[in-house]
């Protein structure tokens, strides 16, 4: 125990805390403070006050130190890639190598990892192929150290937040202990992952929000501005790492609305002042974060200027930005004309180019005509010639004038290699039975009226020319009225496992049926540089968000696989294997410290119970004694705020369709631990108050908290091998260091 | 006792003629030529099947909602004497004479008709004027989409009826009895709970009441709002399960235990099986997860191909698959590893949790085996085979440990149908699992079975239960084969309790995902507010008479406008009140808030959840939300007239505008009438003229 607080100080001296703009900030604070002052009639001497302040700082330093010590202990172990380091380490390398990639999360987290690697002398040459690969001579400690550094700050942040909300050192201390000694938080902070960065920003936002709330009595002062803008910065950080950052934004938003509503109802403030308040918040909590968030993307696009593995996820126009991509610095004619040779790309991610080849559809699958598919790679079979529907003359004949294709024209698409026309008819498509089959038909361009398609540009007026790369076009079959699209389904072997192309009778506008022209060859037209067509920054920003959102919703769980469900998480049902399987491996297993987690779970239930009892009592107008009233306020306001955080970071996962993992719960777990700290401190104080007649009543509180602290520390001693690594037999074996600790069958370590 | 003789008997009746008139008009609009068209219209094809199932007492499962709605429809069929014999296979098929179309469509139509006077009552109960109440009812009356939807065997009108009934009952402070037709009914229920909770909270704060009194109030509310709906909900399922006791096409989705409780089907086979599995038992093993299709553990003579198409090698041993049909090759014998015999000794030695077993395939007498060879389609898992000794230093590894997942204690006996078990391989601790992949042609497109090495927790695809079971008696292979072909004997009957059946049914209804099939008329919630979409319900086989689900666009647009005005005005008032400026007298303000909470709130809870749903959505899903908008419309209009019009002149002008607006709504309703009732064949030209929005799909015959 820290010497500054151990035993020597009376309880009432511990509680009131004077932050820089602390004491009279909130009603709760005021109540507690005045009540405490009333209870200790002799004002403590100045010397003792200074001593107390020094003690508080020492305590904070101790908590911080302990957190850093636990996080940095054995950070270098294991010396191989663990779990998702293979992704995020790799993405860090991409930044160092400046190659473009695609990920479902916004770029800030990976950019910081890359930066940390760069500064610590990592050269980006390690491949990060799969978990278990040895780092050898590559410098990885910079990146791990950076993540551990940010992860270490979670504990002091939580400590300060709880201190501000409850004005009780004991509550803060309990929270800090829960987080320091949680093996889950510890493990998650020790590797090259996005989670420590994300949690750092979430907690920073929470802390600065609480701080600026307690500055509310001194609006527009320097600390007020400082904490308000720091909240905004942290929000931008949280959202810039993962979209989960939206939950903390929601929390800050709700808090701000409540705050403004309160100010607005204060008739002593003029409307101008309220307007100033509103503007300040709009500036710091909306404009500033948005600007920062956009800036991270600007940096992201600037740094990643080389073509890389992420190209294919983006549109043709986007790819033209990347050096090394075949569209980079290319020059092609801008407007589509008859006689042009083109490739047509589907706008949906990972579908590819309209393709045909000499092979026919097999017997029994529609008409036995030439196959039409989509193909992901560049190939000469992707080339089509655009022709007028009613003449077969060669439009490239120099004697004809150039005629541009316009929105609404009836055209024919002739496959360049085989001279067959793109064709559709009333036969069912090979895989999607409700759609029509698309084939290549005709000889040397002579077919029938089923080869006619109307070309339309989405959202344009009739008669406009069609731009290469930029125009989003649809091809509508004239006879059946269906739309050319790709279902995205993989054809069997006869179709070379390319994707199915169909003509869909449902005229709904989906990306599957929208195409754009990518390559364009027409000797009669002047080439222009593609740089002219390059999308503007807002367009790139929008596109990358669309791709990220689609990528996220594309992460669907498979039916027959075991998947983690949100209800597993708070009960610590199952962990994640970070490294190693067999008894000879170095094993790390991400699992919350069960003592901490089950205490948290119990605390939530207890909180709901005690909170509703108190709320009903107040609503019934019960006259509470001053001390109880003060504690109830702490419980309802401080606890309520934290409970809201837990709710917002946990329940939305029940609505998500994507694959979920255990580590998604950790931000919620932080809030849950803060709630535990506040709850037990308040409950034990209430107990002590209730038993005041008993001589040892005061002791109940101290002993209660101390036993919780020691219990947590002891459980950490038991479970620490989960985080710091275990070698040797598995837990079933009585020889194992973890023997007897596998309390649930579902834990596998 | 003779008092009634001394005084005259007086009956005083208080008849609100407008209410009677509204009911009459409602009935007329909904019931007029109800049997037309005499053909299957749109979703009747879907609900009709269920009516037939009720009539034939065949069990079915529909994930769209609890069975009350289906029961209401079936009641119509029952009253009309429908025998259930009609093939509901195609929209537009003519009804045969045994289908009592009128009585089948009667109940939804009545519900639709009664919604009209109910709207009147609700607005009155909200303490708005008679005029506003009439307005709401008249709007309900002429809303084309509501008329169309009420006149067919569909559930929405019944749902709307009970939604309104719930609101009205709560307003009248009767016991609020909330029935669930579809799960959409939940939304209104949640709203009512929220409103009741706010009222209760105020009640708690009312310090003039004693504690006991408050407690009684709360208890009464809890009973009315929580207990009664739950009891009713259970009751519906109880009746549902009582009525449907025969097995049918949806059996396969349910567990073996559930199927065995239905008449016919599996019960016919499992009746009389011995309950406890013993060494020597002959069993079929069904996978509990049953996806993509329910299937049984199976093996046959064929072996895995030596080399797969992708170049990987196999053990070339006998294939083990999961087969979705009953087959003699699905029989396995539970063998004691320590003994040779394949018959049940007397007395039978029962198999318990944790026992070591071998599973011997009945027809080939090879035993189930797994080893460190990659499975054909899931290379991360182990191949499962029936062991053939090729003498190539690949020993048999055919010991499995039995784990009963749903055991009560660690000494539980393995029971037929009831026990859910896992087979854990002793040498490799792999778990027998259905991977869900279909094998290629060499495996006859049956499902792949693998040994899952890294069993990351419990998953139903690793759990099996015994379905068919008998004690093996023949030691000789030839005799045993004959035995396997013959049906089982001995009689022990088993029944599942109602709660167990209810819970299973409920669970399956919640998790059942019908395939996300795209539909020509499906739409997204955003299109509903502005009526950008319609649904063609029916087209006359020869003429161009047709029925569409198409709303009265004037009402839809003005409903949305009213909602926006309500939201803006409320925000304005709230802000002003916060600054202590009270524009409205207190009672008008409370009325305004309550009306908004119910109507705007009703709209929100019936509309917004659709944005989170992943299933195929149709325009008719919006109708419940629309009715709440219609209730809000006159409320907003009256408020404008009462509080925003400053002078008598303004008020008169406003009234004139309202009358003009209502006439235009009537006009639109009349214009769209042929598409609502489908009784008049329009010329292509007239049809084109009705296509006011490009996105409306009106069918025009080409000649």
* Interface contact flag, A434 B579, Cβ < 8 Å: no
Range of the domain at A128: 56-299+576-724
CA dihedral A269, A270, A273, A277 (to 10 degrees): 60
Give the closest of A558, A581, A657 to B614, CB-based. Answer: A657
Looking at the complex, report in whole angstroms how far the Cα of residue A49 sits from the nearest Cα belonging to chain B. Answer: 43
The confidence score (pLDDT) of residue B454 equals 66
**pLDDT per residue over A702-727, tens digit each?**
899 999 999 999 999 999 988 898 88
* Interface contact flag, B457 A562, Cβ < 8 Å: yes
Contact with chain A for residue B202, Cβ under 8 A: no
What is the fold, at CATH topology level, of the domain defined by B281-471?
Answer: Trefoil (Acidic Fibroblast Growth Factor, subunit A) (2.80.10)
B177 and B167 Cβ atoms separated by less than 8 Å? no
Give the closest of B207, B436, B579 to A621, CB-based. Answer: B207
Helical residues (DSSP H) of B474-533, grouped into ranges: 477-485, 498-511, 525-529
Compute chain B's Rg from CA coordinates.
33
* A312 inside domain: no
In the three-class reduction of DSSP (H, G, I as helix; E, B as strand; rest coil), residue B516 is classed as coil
Strand-pair category, B447-452 with B368-374? unpaired
* Interface contact flag, A560 B291, Cβ < 8 Å: yes
Contact with chain B for residue A282, Cβ under 8 A: no
Nearest CA in chain A to B455: A562
Mean pLDDT of chain B: 83
If asked whether residues A257 and A201 sit together in one domain, one would say yes
Give the closest of B519, B578, B612 to A264, CB-based. Answer: B578
Divide the 749 residues of chain A into consecutive groups of 10 and give the mean pLDDT of each group: 37 39 40 42 60 88 94 88 89 90 90 93 86 86 93 95 92 94 93 94 95 89 93 95 93 94 91 93 94 94 84 75 77 85 83 88 84 84 87 66 86 90 89 86 84 86 77 88 85 82 81 85 81 77 84 69 83 86 83 93 95 88 86 92 95 86 93 95 90 79 92 93 85 78 82
**Residues of A with Cβ-Cβ distance to B519 under 8 angstroms:** 506
If asked whether residues A517 and A582 sit together in one domain, one would say no
* A196 inside domain: yes
A71 and A97 Cβ atoms separated by less than 8 Å? no
Contact with chain B for residue A20, Cβ under 8 A: no
If asked whether residues A390 and A465 sit together in one domain, one would say yes
Contact with chain B for residue A654, Cβ under 8 A: no
Contact with chain B for residue A508, Cβ under 8 A: yes
Measured CA to CA, the distance from residue A597 to residue A184 in angstroms comes to: 10
Measured CA to CA, the distance from residue B485 to residue A193 in angstroms comes to: 59
Measured CA to CA, the distance from residue A472 to residue A641 in angstroms comes to: 48
**Residues of A with Cβ-Cβ distance to B575 under 8 angstroms:** 264
- Written as six digits, the tokens of A420 are 């067959």
Nearest CA in chain A to B461: A560
Measured CA to CA, the distance from residue B353 to residue B413 in angstroms comes to: 6
Q: How many domains are contained in chain A?
A: 2
Measured CA to CA, the distance from residue B182 to residue B191 in angstroms comes to: 16
Helical residues (DSSP H) of A190-270, grouped into ranges: 195-214, 222-241, 245-265
**Residue for token pair 């002091």:** A156
**Residues of B with Cβ-Cβ distance to A620 under 8 angstroms:** 204-205, 207, 211, 214
If asked whether residues A619 and A687 sit together in one domain, one would say yes
- The DSSP line for B300-311 is EEEE--SB-TTS
A397 and A329 Cβ atoms separated by less than 8 Å? no
If asked whether residues A515 and A455 sit together in one domain, one would say yes
Contact with chain B for residue A267, Cβ under 8 A: yes
Tell me which residues of chain B have a pLDDT lower than 50: 174-179, 489-493
Contact with chain B for residue A616, Cβ under 8 A: yes
Q: Which of B324, B322, B305, B327 is nearest to B314 (CA)?
A: B305
* A311 inside domain: no
Neighbours of A123 (CB within 10 A): 12
Identify the domain boundary among A529, A550, A585: A529
- For residue B532, whether the previous peptide bond is cis, meaning omega lies within 30 degrees of 0, is no
Measured CA to CA, the distance from residue B588 to residue B237 in angstroms comes to: 44
Looking at the complex, report in whole angstroms how far the Cα of residue B289 sits from the nearest Cα belonging to chain A. Answer: 8
If asked whether residues A277 and A147 sit together in one domain, one would say yes
Looking at the complex, report in whole angstroms how far the Cα of residue B578 sits from the nearest Cα belonging to chain A. Answer: 5
- The DSSP line for B150-183 is HTSS-SHHHHHHHHHHHHHHHHHTS------SST
If asked whether residues A222 and A358 sit together in one domain, one would say no
Give the orientation angle of helix B185-205 with respect to helix B586-607, to 10 degrees.
150
Interface probe, candidates A479, A489, A557, A560, chain B, greatest B C-beta count within 10 A: A560
If asked whether residues A355 and A246 sit together in one domain, one would say no
The DSSP secondary-structure symbol of A664 reads: G
At B496, which helix (H) or strand (E)? none
- For residue B37, whether the previous peptide bond is cis, meaning omega lies within 30 degrees of 0, is yes
Window A:415-434, CB contacts with B under 8 Å? 434
A167 and A18 Cβ atoms separated by less than 8 Å? no
The confidence score (pLDDT) of residue A36 equals 42
Give the closest of B291, B519, B575 to A559, CB-based. Answer: B291
Tell me whether residue A532 is exposed, middle or buried, using C-beta atoms within 10 angstroms of its C-beta: 0 to 12, 13 to 18, 19 or more.
exposed
Contact with chain A for residue B575, Cβ under 8 A: yes
Measured CA to CA, the distance from residue B552 to residue B623 in angstroms comes to: 12
* A266 inside domain: yes
Measured CA to CA, the distance from residue B260 to residue B236 in angstroms comes to: 22
Measured CA to CA, the distance from residue A18 to residue A9 in angstroms comes to: 16
Measured CA to CA, the distance from residue A616 to residue A606 in angstroms comes to: 15
In the three-class reduction of DSSP (H, G, I as helix; E, B as strand; rest coil), residue B542 is classed as coil
Identify the domain boundary among A511, A529, A547: A529
* A542 inside domain: no
* Interface contact flag, A620 B289, Cβ < 8 Å: no
Interface probe, candidates B200, B218, B457, chain A, greatest A C-beta count within 10 A: B457
The confidence score (pLDDT) of residue B81 equals 86
Measured CA to CA, the distance from residue B158 to residue B108 in angstroms comes to: 6
**Residues of B with Cβ-Cβ distance to A616 under 8 angstroms:** 204
Cβ neighbours for A660, distance < 8 A, ≥ 6 positions apart = A557, A563, A564, A565, A566, A653
* Interface contact flag, A264 B575, Cβ < 8 Å: yes
Contact with chain B for residue A748, Cβ under 8 A: yes
The confidence score (pLDDT) of residue B484 equals 66
The confidence score (pLDDT) of residue A26 equals 39
Q: How far is CA A109 from CA A106, A116, A124, A653, in A?
A: 8, 11, 17, 21
Nearest CA in chain A to B437: A560
Contact with chain B for residue A556, Cβ under 8 A: no
- Written as six digits, the tokens of A259 are 């705050």
Looking at the complex, report in whole angstroms how far the Cα of residue B350 sits from the nearest Cα belonging to chain A. Answer: 26
* Interface contact flag, A560 B580, Cβ < 8 Å: no
Measured CA to CA, the distance from residue A577 to residue A574 in angstroms comes to: 10
**pLDDT per residue over A560-575, tens digit each?**
666 788 888 999 888 8
Contact with chain A for residue B456, Cβ under 8 A: yes
- Written as six digits, the tokens of B537 are 């319900």
Q: How far is CA B379 from CA B287, B290, B297, B376, B460, in A?
A: 21, 22, 20, 7, 21
The residue extents of the domains of chain B are 17-235+530-690, 281-471
* Interface contact flag, A508 B518, Cβ < 8 Å: yes
Compute chain A's Rg from CA coordinates.
32
If asked whether residues A152 and A219 sit together in one domain, one would say yes
Task: Tally A–B CB contacts below 8 A.
Answer: 53
Nearest CA in chain A to B517: A434
Looking at the complex, report in whole angstroms how far the Cα of residue A725 sits from the nearest Cα belonging to chain B. Answer: 20
If asked whether residues A501 and A614 sit together in one domain, one would say no
A424: β partners: A438
The confidence score (pLDDT) of residue A284 equals 92
Contact with chain A for residue B434, Cβ under 8 A: yes
Cβ neighbours for A144, distance < 8 A, ≥ 6 positions apart = A75, A76, A190, A191, A192
CATH number at residue A479: 2.80.10.50
B105 and B76 Cβ atoms separated by less than 8 Å? yes
Measured CA to CA, the distance from residue A369 to residue B2 in angstroms comes to: 97
Measured CA to CA, the distance from residue B508 to residue B514 in angstroms comes to: 12
Strand-pair category, B331-335 with B281-287? antiparallel
* Interface contact flag, A620 B205, Cβ < 8 Å: yes
Give the closest of A264, A265, A562 to B456, CB-based. Answer: A562
Q: Across chain A, how many H-helices and E-strands are there? A: 21, 16
Looking at the complex, report in whole angstroms how far the Cα of residue B5 sits from the nearest Cα belonging to chain A. Answer: 54
Q: How far is CA B644 from CA B572, B641, B651, in A?
A: 13, 6, 9
If asked whether residues A381 and A489 sit together in one domain, one would say yes
Measured CA to CA, the distance from residue A415 to residue B335 in angstroms comes to: 64
- Written as six digits, the tokens of A150 are 């940010």
Contact with chain B for residue A459, Cβ under 8 A: no
**Residues of A with Cβ-Cβ distance to B294 under 8 angstroms:** none
Q: Which of B456, B694, B600 is nearest to A581 (CA)?
A: B456
Looking at the complex, report in whole angstroms how far the Cα of residue B559 sits from the nearest Cα belonging to chain A. Answer: 26
Nearest CA in chain A to B463: A560
Contact with chain B for residue A266, Cβ under 8 A: no
The ipTM (two decimal places) reads: 0.76
If asked whether residues A235 and A288 sit together in one domain, one would say yes
């Amino acid at each position: 125990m820290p010497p500054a607080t151990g035993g020597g100080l009376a309880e009432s001296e511990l509680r009131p805390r004077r932050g820089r703009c602390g004491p009279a900030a909130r009603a709760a604070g005021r109540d507690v403070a005045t009540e405490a002052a009333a209870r200790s009639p002799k004002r403590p001497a100045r010397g003792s006050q200074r001593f107390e302040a020094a003690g508080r700082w020492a305590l904070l330093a101790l908590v911080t130190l302990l957190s850093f010590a636990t996080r940095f202990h054995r950070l270098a172990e294991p010396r191989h890639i663990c779990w998702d380091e293979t992704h995020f380490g790799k993405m860090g390398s991409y930044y160092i190598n400046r190659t473009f990639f695609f990920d479902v999360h916004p770029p800030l987290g990976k950019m910081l990892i890359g930066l940390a690697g760069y500064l610590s002398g990592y050269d980006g040459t390690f491949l990060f192929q799969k978990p278990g690969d040895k780092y050898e001579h590559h410098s990885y400690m910079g990146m791990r150290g950076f993540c551990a550094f940010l992860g270490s700050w979670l504990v002091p942040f939580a400590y300060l937040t709880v201190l501000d909300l409850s004005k009780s050192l004991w509550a803060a201390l309990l929270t800090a202990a829960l987080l320091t000694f949680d093996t889950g938080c510890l493990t998650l902070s020790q590797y090259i992952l996005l989670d420590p960065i994300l949690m750092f920003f979430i907690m920073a936002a929470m802390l600065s929000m609480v701080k600026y709330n307690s500055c509310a009595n001194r609006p527009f002062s320097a600390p007020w501005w400082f904490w308000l803008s720091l909240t905004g910065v942290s929000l931008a950080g949280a959202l810039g790492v993962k979209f989960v950052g939206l939950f903390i934004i929601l929390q800050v938003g709700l808090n701000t609305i409540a705050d403004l509503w309160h100010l607005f109802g204060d008739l002593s403030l003029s409307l101008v002042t309220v307007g100033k308040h509103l503007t300040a918040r709009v500036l710091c909590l909306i404009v500033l974060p948005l600007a920062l968030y956009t800036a991270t993307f600007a940096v992201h696009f600037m740094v990643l200027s080389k073509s890389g593995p992420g190209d294919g996820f983006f549109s043709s126009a986007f790819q033209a930005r990347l050096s090394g991509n075949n569209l980079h610095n290319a020059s092609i004619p801008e407007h589509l004309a008859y006689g042009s040779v083109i490739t047509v790309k589907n706008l949906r991610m990972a579908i590819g180019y309209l393709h045909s080849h000499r092979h026919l559809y097999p017997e029994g699958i529609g008409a036995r005509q030439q196959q039409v598919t989509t193909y992901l790679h560049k190939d000469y079979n992707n080339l089509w010639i655009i022709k007028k529907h009613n003449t077969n003359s060669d439009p490239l004949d120099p004697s004809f004038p150039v005629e541009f294709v316009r929105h609404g024209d009836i055209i024919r698409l002739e496959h360049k290699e085989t001279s067959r026309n793109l064709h559709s008819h009333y036969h069912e498509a090979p895989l999607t039975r409700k759609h029509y089959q698309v084939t290549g038909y005709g000889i040397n361009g002579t077919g029938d009226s089923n080869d006619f398609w109307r070309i339309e540009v989405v959202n344009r007026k009739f008669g406009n020319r069609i731009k290469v790369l930029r125009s989003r076009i649809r091809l509508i079959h004239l006879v059946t009225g269906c739309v050319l699209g790709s279902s995205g389904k993989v054809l069997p072997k006869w179709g070379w496992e390319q994707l199915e192309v169909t003509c869909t009778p449902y005229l709904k506008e989906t990306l599957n049926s929208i195409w754009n022209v990518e390559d364009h060859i027409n000797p009669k037209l002047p080439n222009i540089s593609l740089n002219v067509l390059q999308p503007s920054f807002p367009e790139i920003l929008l596109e990358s968000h669309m791709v990220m959102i689609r990528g996220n919703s594309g992460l669907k769980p498979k039916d027959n696989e075991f998947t983690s469900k949100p209800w597993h998480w708070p009960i610590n049902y199952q962990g994640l294997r970070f490294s190693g399987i067999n008894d000879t491996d170095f094993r790390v297993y991400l699992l919350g410290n069960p003592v901490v987690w089950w205490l948290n779970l119990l605390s939530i239930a207890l909180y709901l119970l005690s909170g509703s009892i108190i709320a009903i009592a107040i609503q019934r107008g019960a006259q509470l004694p001053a001390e109880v009233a003060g504690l109830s306020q702490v419980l309802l306001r401080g606890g309520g705020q934290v409970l809201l955080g837990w709710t917002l970071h946990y329940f939305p996962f029940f609505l998500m369709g994507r694959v979920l993992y255990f580590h998604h719960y950790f931000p919620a777990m932080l809030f849950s631990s803060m709630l535990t700290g506040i709850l037990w401190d308040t409950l034990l104080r209430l107990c002590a108050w209730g038993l005041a007649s008993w001589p040892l009543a005061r002791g109940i509180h101290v002993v209660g908290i101390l036993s919780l602290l020691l219990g947590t520390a002891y459980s950490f001693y038991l479970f620490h091998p989960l985080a710091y690594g275990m070698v040797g037999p598995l837990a079933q074996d009585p020889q194992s260091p973890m023997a007897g600790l596998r309390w649930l069958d579902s834990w596998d370590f | 006792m003779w008092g009634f003789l001394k005084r005259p008997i007086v009956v005083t009746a208080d008849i609100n003629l407008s209410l009677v008139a509204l009911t009459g008009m409602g009935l007329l609009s909904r019931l007029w030529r109800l049997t037309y068209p005499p053909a299957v219209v749109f979703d009747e094809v879907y609900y009709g099947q269920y009516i037939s199932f009720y009539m034939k007492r065949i069990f079915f499962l529909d994930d769209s909602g609890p069975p009350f709605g289906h029961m209401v429809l079936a009641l119509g069929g029952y009253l009309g004497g429908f025998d259930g014999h009609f093939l509901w296979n195609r929209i537009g098929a003519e009804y045969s004479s045994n289908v009592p179309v009128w009585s089948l469509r009667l109940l939804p139509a009545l519900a639709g008709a009664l919604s009209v006077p109910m709207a009147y009552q609700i607005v009155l109960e909200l303490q708005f004027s008679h005029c506003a109440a009439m307005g709401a009812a008249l709007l309900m009356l002429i809303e084309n989409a509501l008329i169309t939807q009420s006149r067919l065997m569909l559930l929405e009108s019944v749902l709307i009826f009970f939604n309104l009934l719930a609101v009205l009952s709560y307003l009248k402070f009767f016991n609020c009895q909330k029935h669930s037709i579809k799960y959409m009914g939940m939304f209104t229920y949640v709203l009512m709970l929220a409103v009741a909770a706010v009222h209760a909270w105020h009640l708690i704060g009312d310090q003039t009441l004693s504690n006991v009194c408050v407690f009684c109030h709360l208890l009464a509310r809890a009973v009315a709002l929580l207990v009664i709906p739950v009891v009713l909900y259970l009751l519906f399922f109880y009746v549902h399960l009582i009525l449907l006791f025969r097995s049918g096409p949806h059996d396969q989705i349910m567990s073996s235990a559930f199927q065995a409780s239905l008449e016919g089907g599996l019960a016919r086979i499992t009746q009389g099986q011995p309950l406890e599995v013993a060494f020597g038992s002959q069993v079929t093993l069904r996978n509990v997860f049953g996806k993509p299709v329910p299937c049984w553990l199976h093996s046959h003579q064929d072996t895995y191909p030596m080399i797969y198409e992708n170049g990987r090698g196999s053990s070339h041993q006998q294939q083990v698959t999961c087969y979705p049909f009953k087959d003699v090759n699905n029989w396995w014998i539970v063998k004691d590893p320590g003994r040779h015999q394949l018959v049940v000794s007397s007395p039978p030695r029962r198999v318990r949790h944790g026992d070591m077993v071998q599973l011997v395939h009945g027809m080939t007498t090879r035993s189930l085996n797994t080893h460190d060879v990659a499975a054909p389609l899931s290379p991360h898992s182990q191949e499962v085979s029936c062991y053939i000794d090729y003498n190539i230093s690949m020993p048999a590894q055919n010991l499995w440990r039995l784990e009963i997942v749903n055991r009560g204690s660690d000494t539980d006996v393995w029971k037929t149908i009831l026990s859910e078990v896992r087979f854990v391989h002793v040498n490799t601790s792999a778990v027998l699992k259905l991977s869900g992949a279909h094998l290629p042609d060499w495996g006859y497109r049956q499902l792949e079975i693998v040994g899952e090495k890294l069993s990351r927790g419990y998953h139903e695809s690793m759990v099996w239960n015994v379905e068919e079971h008998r004690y093996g008696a023949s030691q000789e292979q030839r005799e045993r084969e004959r035995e396997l072909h013959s049906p089982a004997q001995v009689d022990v009957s088993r029944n599942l309790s109602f709660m167990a059946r209810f819970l299973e049914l409920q669970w399956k209804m919640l998790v059942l995902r019908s395939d996300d099939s795209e539909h020509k008329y499906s739409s997204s919630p955003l299109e509903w507010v502005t009526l950008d979409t319609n649904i063609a319900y029916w087209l006359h086989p020869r003429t161009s008479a047709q029925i569409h689900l198409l709303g009265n666009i004037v009402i839809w647009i003005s409903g949305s406008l009213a909602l926006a005005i309500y939201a803006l005005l409320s925000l304005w008032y709230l802000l002003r009140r916060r600054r202590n400026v009270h524009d409205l007298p207190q009672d008008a303000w409370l009325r305004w808030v309550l009306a908004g909470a119910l109507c705007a709130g009703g709209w929100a809870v019936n509309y917004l959840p659709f944005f989170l749903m992943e299933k195929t959505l149709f325009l008719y899903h919006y109708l419940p939300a629309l009715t709440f908008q219609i209730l809000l419309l006159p409320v907003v209009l009256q408020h404008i007239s009462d509080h925003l019009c400053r002078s008598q002149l303004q008020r008169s002008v406003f009234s004139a505008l309202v009358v003009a607006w209502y006439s235009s709504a009537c006009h639109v309703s009349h214009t769209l009438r042929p598409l609502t009732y489908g009784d008049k064949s329009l010329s292509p030209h007239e049809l084109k003229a009705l296509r006011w929005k490009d996105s409306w799909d009106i069918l025009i015959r080409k000649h």
